[in-house]
Structure 1
Amino acid sequence: MTALPKLRDLDNREFNPFMEERFFFGENEDPYPLLARLREQNAAMAGDYRLMMGLQPDITHPANVPHFMILSYEEVAKALQSPQVFSNKAYTFNIGASFGRSVSAMDAPEHGRYRRIFQKIFLPQFVKTWGDNIVDPVVNDLMDGFIATGKADLIQQFTLNYPFGVIYRQLDLPPDEGKLFHKLAVTQTLVSFDFKHGSEANAKLGEYFPHLIEQRRANPGNDLVSLLARAEVDGEYLPEDVLVSFFRQLINAAGDTTYRGTSVLLTKLLENPDQLAMLREDRSLMPNAIEEALRFDGPVVEQARWTAQDVEVAGVFMPANSIVHVVAGAANRDPAKFDDPDRFDIRRHNASRHFSFSAGPHICIGQHLARVEMTRAMTAILDRLPNLRLDPDMPPPAIRGAMMRVPHSLHVRFDPS
């Protein structure tokens, strides 16, 4: 049996990627009024979304490349459904630098060839079984740590940790290295503005996963690594660089999106106690409540594309080889699609029509898992934290960010059990 090497920490063990991440994603309290003004001017325009939001540019993007933004629901839908024009090559610069040969940066036919293999693992019928066996134990273990106190910071003590705990168990990673995996997974995404630490984390995860794949092929179990390590394309194993990239991206992407989505949902429910009570009494509203949170303030505000050819959008000419910022956050609040879009409403009839998981051939592979995780976490909170309310003695929550949105704290009180 191949012995796994010990996962290596960053040379600077005191480095805190979570603080650096805030700098990269921005601390914007509410980007939506600006997005609304821009959308009212036109459905598309020239401009770099990061610069428009007052952030530093992505240093992985090639210099002197034109940047454009797409803002309306109709035009965002067209762009995401037109991969032959709006290519995912844009992600070769940042995601490629972070994770390597990622399916997120591939176009057809290569993208479809590998995506089909990964997607089979995340079909709803498989994901549902993980709810009982993996998600619930992680959720309940975390809640047991604070449930007797009658108060908690639901971000720092719960939502930040539970999706990553789920991923560790799915991959059957060493439990004692969970915090280090989390740290390295977040650090590798910082390569777009902190190349030194991002590339160091990239290398250290990159040296670990080939050994893990080799071990699981020799001694397979029921974990995701074993399943995908033995998956074949045209009679051959998945290429190692594609597989390693997927695992590195999964640790961060699957955990991060769910953490942010759950945090936003909890925040909006606590700010609207009538809707929290409604959901507590009628759990059939849960799926739509999750979709409304994703629409109202989705975890990923902007998605990048690369123009494979000259194209005109809403009268704006975009030459080939341009970076296009497809602003899902602006589309998700477009009044042409959603009535009273700046209002959070768990009964909204078309809440699920959002773009927070993207759309088209690159729609999020892990979307079904994210919904299962959010459902199980919210169910446990409603069941186990009676009389849940904001803590009046602590600062109220503030959802922040221009690229990725989340509150950094959510102080609550409840009746202890």
Structure 2
Amino acid sequence: MATAAIRIEEFDPPSYDPFTSDEANFGDIADPYPAIHAMRAEGPVLEGDYCSRFAVGSTPHPEAKRFIIVGTKEITEVLTDQTRFSNAAYRANLGTTFGMGSISTMDNPEHGRFRKIFQKIFLPQHVRTWGDSIVDPVVHDLMDAFVNKGEADLVQQFTQLYPFEVIYRQLDLPKDDVRTFQRLAIGQTDFMTAGRAQEAARKLGTYFEALVDERRRNPGDDLVSLLANTEVDGEYLPDLVLFSFLRQLMNAAGDTTYRGTSILLTALLQNPDQLDAIRKDRALIAPAIEEALRWDGPVLMQTRMAAVDTTLGGVDIPAGSVLDVVAGAANRDPDVWDDPDKFDIFRRRDAHWSFSRGPHICVGQHLARVEMTRAMHAVLDNLPNLRLDPDKPAPQVRGIMMRVPEHIFVRFGD
């Protein structure tokens, strides 16, 4: 029931490319893990901020005292104890783009009240049905463009596109708007290019406001209609929270899924014996996804604010301090994982920190896993003898916070 009368507004000027903002915002470092290991050797809680260690990006809350959390016990403590550590830290960046109604900026009880409504829609049994009806058709439509050519760039032609196409179909929006929609979604996190994040948020907000109004008058079975009309305990989502969630959905379910899938494919192509094992036994897809998320999760660092004066890892932390919680440090902790820098789909499966922990664990994690699983099945079904293209540069995952390779050049077939 896509509504053609509601149109999305492009960046001004349209030549702005949000995909080139990654380096400025998240760095161009191929391997931040030696530096993360060195931080852990200094102690579990360090004074300073994570980005400054790499001379990358901007620092919200410049007036606040800052700490870097790299100890696994302390990382878990910060992410799970919302009485001492608040998500208010995100109000200075994500709050200005996704909106102050974003559940990422909230603490309990407000956060829990609204999260219950989102969870009702993103339950695994609902998400699994989207795999057949939405995810598979998107994956195959994209692959049809290159499947007979014997070569491709899996980032530019596949992984960068398909999560946004999935969301677009979930929202039941006009096909003509999909590229602008994706560009605005990515642009919301470009805080280093003056005004771009705010421009993207404003234009998406205008779009979603008209869309929600239309779907309340003419509801369908699309995700916007479900979000606008679902209630829990007699309560609907306020418009501020709903518009913020729709903005954030583009990044939480689109940007991070594209990054995670790209990293998964990079790791398997760089370890062809493990890719071959998955070809022979597709039950290994699930552990491969979890290992990729652990080994180089698409979001290495999360942020919290100390709600009270407290002590963490033997370090006194004043109220109002900002904490850079390096989930990537826990995911590569040698006390938790044997040979943690090695990608190994056969390792013992323990829970990683890439979807966070505690009250703010990712509400879209089930959808992300479905999308990554369906992508792997499509790769195995349609790209026989998949391997890296020896005549082109090898993929290299880059970034200190949001991680992704720019290209994955491959050949397939005979």
TM over 0.5: yes
Match of 2:401 in 1: 403
Q: CA deviation at 1:234?
A: 5.0
Match of 1:120 in 2: 120
- For residue 383 of structure 1, the aligned residue among 375, 381, 389 is 381
Match of 1:170 in 2: 170
Q: Distance in 2 between matches of 1:259 and 1:360?
A: 24
Tell me which amino acid in the other structure corresponds to 1:55. V
CA contact (8 A) 2:26 2:57 kept: no
Match of 1:303 in 2: 302
Tell me which amino acid in the other structure corresponds to 2:11. L
What is the CA deviation profile of residues 316-360 of structure 1, one whole-angstrom value per residue up to 9, with x for unaligned ones? 11110010000001110000111110110001112x411100010
CA contact (8 A) 2:383 2:412 kept: yes
Tell me which amino acid in the other structure corresponds to 2:55. G
Match of 1:329 in 2: 328
Match of 1:364 in 2: 362
**1:54-73 → structure 2 map (5 Å cutoff):** 54-58=55-59, 61-73=60-72
Match of 1:49 in 2: 50
Q: Distance in 2 between matches of 1:369 and 1:75?
A: 28
What is the CA deviation profile of residues 335-387 of structure 1, one whole-angstrom value per residue up to 9, with x for unaligned ones? 0111110110001112x411100010100000000000000000110111111
Match of 2:353 in 1: 355
Q: Distance in 1 between matches of 2:141 and 2:23?
A: 28
**1:48-197 → structure 2 map (5 Å cutoff):** 48-58=49-59, 61-100=60-99, 101-190=101-190, 192-197=191-196
**1:202-241 → structure 2 map (5 Å cutoff):** 202-232=201-231, 235-241=234-240
Q: Distance in 2 between matches of 1:236 and 1:42?
A: 45
CA contact (8 A) 2:25 2:58 kept: no
Tell me which amino acid in the other structure corresponds to 2:351. R
CA contact (8 A) 1:4 1:211 kept: no
Q: CA deviation at 1:312?
A: 1.4
Q: Distance in 2 between matches of 1:111 and 1:237?
A: 14
Match of 1:36 in 2: 37
Tell me which amino acid in the other structure corresponds to 2:376. M
**1:279-298 → structure 2 map (5 Å cutoff):** 279-298=278-297
2:27 paired with 1:26: yes
Q: Distance in 2 between matches of 1:348 and 1:366?
A: 25
Question: Please, which runs of 5 or more residues in structure 2 have no aligned partner?
Answer: none
What is the CA deviation profile of residues 89-111 of structure 1, one whole-angstrom value per residue up to 9, with x for unaligned ones? 11111110111020011000000
Q: CA deviation at 1:189?
A: 1.6
Q: Distance in 2 between matches of 1:276 and 1:252?
A: 28
Q: CA deviation at 1:4?
A: 4.1
Q: Distance in 2 between matches of 1:53 and 1:337?
A: 25
CA RMSD of aligned residues (A): 1.4
**Residue 37 and residue 12 in structure 1: after superposition, are their counterparts in 2 closer, same or farther (change >3 A)?**
same
Q: Distance in 2 between matches of 1:308 and 1:7?
A: 39
Aligned length: 412
Secondary structure (helix, strand or coil) at the match of 1:246 reads: helix
CA contact (8 A) 1:73 1:336 kept: no
Secondary structure (helix, strand or coil) at the match of 2:195 reads: helix
Alignment identity in percent?
57
